Amino acid sequence: MIWATISMTFHVIGATNLDALTDEVFEALLALEGADTRLRDSDMDAVLVDEIVTVRVAAQGPTLDDAFDLGGSAIRSAIHSTGGATPGWKNPEPSTAPSSNFELRGQQLIPA
């Protein structure tokens, strides 16, 4: 099994309180980590004035691709659980509900 750290940077649009939203996303990611032994070391940085958020999680899988998919899914699930949207992600889900949009700006995979 391979461990890798997945880091994704987002520009967040439409958040009325980005500080509170990032806290909610981080708590959701920690909950996912607590429920799945293949996830660990969740972390998050934000530059609130620029509306830029970077989310990281280490994930385990039989291949780097599997680890990346699991980590990316955990990050996306944490965002969605707070009512956020991830437009433009693979297989985007249409939504008419008002939400904060997390637009992916970059991603990195760091093998452990």
Give 51-74 pLDDT, tens digit per residue. Answer: 999 999 999 999 999 999 999 999
The CATH architecture one would assign to domain 2-111 is 2-Layer Sandwich (3.30)
The pair of three-digit structure tokens given for residue 105, joined into one six-digit string: 């700006």
> In the chain, what are the domain boundaries?
2-111
Which of 27-36, 43-52, 95-104 comes out lowest in average pLDDT?
95-104
Those residues whose C-beta lies under 8 Å from the C-beta of residue 24, and which sit 6 or more positions away, are: 82
pLDDT for the residue 103: 83
The answer on pLDDT for 18 being more than 50 is yes
d(CA 81, CA 39): 17
- CA distances for 5 relative to 14, 24, 28, 100, 110, angstroms: 28, 21, 18, 25, 5
Report residue 92: phi and psi, to 5°. Answer: -60, 145
